[in-house]
Amino acid sequence: MLKKVLVLFVLLTPVFACAAEKTKKEEPIEHLTDEQIYEQLKKLALVFETARDNFVEEVDEKKMLEAAMNGMLGALDPHSSYLSADDFKEFNDKSHGEFGGLGIQITSDRGAVRVISPIDDTPAEKAGIKAGDYITHIDDEQVFDMTLNQAVKKMKGRPGTKVKLTIITEGKEPRTLTLKRAIIKVDSVKYEEKSLAGADEDADKIGYIRISDFGATTSKELKEALEKLEKKNVIGYVVDVRNNPGGYLTAAIDVADAFLDSGEIVSTRGREKTDIERVYAKKGDLANGKPVVVLINHGSASASEIVAGALQDNGRGLVMGSQSFGKGSVQQQKPLGDGTAIHITIARYYTPSGRSIQNEGITPDVEVLQSKVEVLEKRESMYSEASFKNALKNENAKDKKKSDDEEEELTDEEKDALDYQLQRAMDMVIAMSKLETRAKELAEQNKDEEVSEQEKKENEKVDEKIKKTETKKDKKSGK
């Protein structure tokens, strides 16, 4: 038995050794010799056998070994883990746009489960779970003893069934929420024409593109959105990647490329100094050079940060909002041949200017924190005819008062008006569009002036030639 266990771990060792990310400790790593590695693996096998034979209850060997592999990978960083056959299948299903659960992207942080971001129109988002929240209990069970995959599994289940989460938000008391599981179908890209709150019907229209994640269909959906919005002659674009936890690297590259005509999009750098890959934009800006504002917040991670960084560093778009999440690492699935795999960090992301996204995130060009818009003037003033005592009532008026329990359903326009960051982003697109229009007008004006000046010089030359000819004639006739 000991020999078999040793073979198992020796087979896994090359994958572990080759893919491990550099430690953040200042002290240099002391690498073990092959003999020392063998001794440690022998000890690990001995721990396994001793625990299996002496534990007070009958043990599940498979569970023990999977936990050991998960612990090995989890010691590297929060994003590396062992994927069982079921986990690997679920991961692939999720990446292709449809999966079951609560619609929440999470990571491990100091023993707890931290929310990267909720996905749009899902039970988690509707329950008010926000990026940066911590989940401490799932169905009253502490998450501190769970792996990330175990926490994910506990939150998944049959659609319609319920799960109880204990949530901690910074500066607030812990709260318990009961959510109903659902089939989570991710519509990666949503788009529409928008105008500023309170603007006239004939006001400038702005193309609003909301990208909720970066999946297999994102690139195709974005191209369709840009084609349709361009036909409507929008003056510019707001690309909203707030609370977008990321996804496929290729999808992020395609999204950035859609707005770029040239330039580097992103580089990935592995453990070795020579292990660098750079990706460049192909010719063709699908937005035809119109102003672009990218909206980010602390829930914008990974692929979202790649897009924001690419447009920012290439001077193609202005980034607004708040500091992004700071996940600048590349993960890859390494199948182990039996339906299982490891999910492991293999490189770091860098923006075109060479900035590492890891732990830093993208700093917006214009910081706009989400704020509550306060209405200073009520629709019904306290000083009106209706405020007088014994004022005659309007016999045809409908009762506008609602019960305290009845919530007013906001329209999409009203929701937009309350979205302070979005309103400021659209303000900026309008300003950038006007600046571009003014710049073009000045260029045309200068061109006309140059032409006029050139014509003036040509005319002066002609006049000079005529004068010289007449002078010669006068001299000749005088002779």
- The CATH number that applies at residue 143 is 2.30.42.10
**Cα angle 132, 134, 135; round to 5:** 140
Considering the domain architecture, whether residues 219 and 284 belong to the same structural domain is answered as yes
Whether 319 and 217 share a structural domain: yes
**Boundaries of domain holding 166:** 98-185
42 and 83 belong to one structural domain: yes
280 shares a domain with 159: no
pLDDT at 475: 61
In a domain, 318, yes or no: yes
Q: Are 68 and 187 in contact (CB under 8 A)?
A: no
| 55 and 179 within one domain | no
> Can you tell me which residue has the tokens 């690492």?
329
156 within domain boundaries: yes
Are residues 153 and 198 both part of a single domain?
Answer: no
Quote the Cα angle for 469-475-479, to 5°. 145
Active site residues: 302, 313, 327
- Is the domain of 214 the same as that of 343? yes
User: 191 and 262 share a domain?
Assistant: yes
H-helix segments, 218-360 = 218-231, 249-259, 303-313
476 lies in some domain: no
Inside any domain, residue 166:
yes
Q: Which of 367, 389, 408 is the last residue of a domain?
A: 367
Q: Tokens at residue 315, please?
A: 């001077």
Regarding whether 135 and 121 lie in a shared domain, the answer is yes
Query: What confidence score (pLDDT) does residue 455 get?
Result: 74
Largest CA distance in the chain: 135
CATH number for position 242: 3.90.226.10
Whether residue 251 is found in the same domain as residue 289: yes
Residues of the chain with pLDDT under 70: 1-26, 93-99, 372-409, 448-449, 451, 470-479
- Answer yes or no: is 249 within a domain: yes
pLDDT of residue 152: 86
Strand duo 237-240 + 182-185: pairing: unpaired
| Residue from 207, 201, 236, 193 nearest 434 by CA | 236
Is the CB of residue 119 less than 8 Å from the CB of residue 165? no
pLDDT of residue 247: 87
Q: Say what the pLDDT of residue 447 is.
A: 74
What is the pTM assigned to this prediction? 0.71
- Cβ–Cβ under 8 Å, residues 119 and 125: yes
Last residue of a domain, one of 367, 386, 418: 367
At residue 371, the pLDDT reads: 80
398, part of any domain: no
Pairing between strand 366-367 and 318-321?
Answer: parallel
The per-residue pLDDT for 98 is: 59
Backbone angles phi, psi at 95, to 5 degrees: -70, -20
Burial of 115: CB neighbours in 10 Å, binned 0-12, 13-18, 19+: buried
Do 103 and 216 share a structural domain? no
291 and 194 belong to one structural domain: yes
Is residue 455 a part of any domain in this protein? no
- Domain closes at, from 185, 218, 242: 185
Burial degree of 290 (CB within 10 A; 0-12, 13-18, 19+)? buried
Number of domains forming the structure of the chain: 3
Residue 8 within a domain: yes
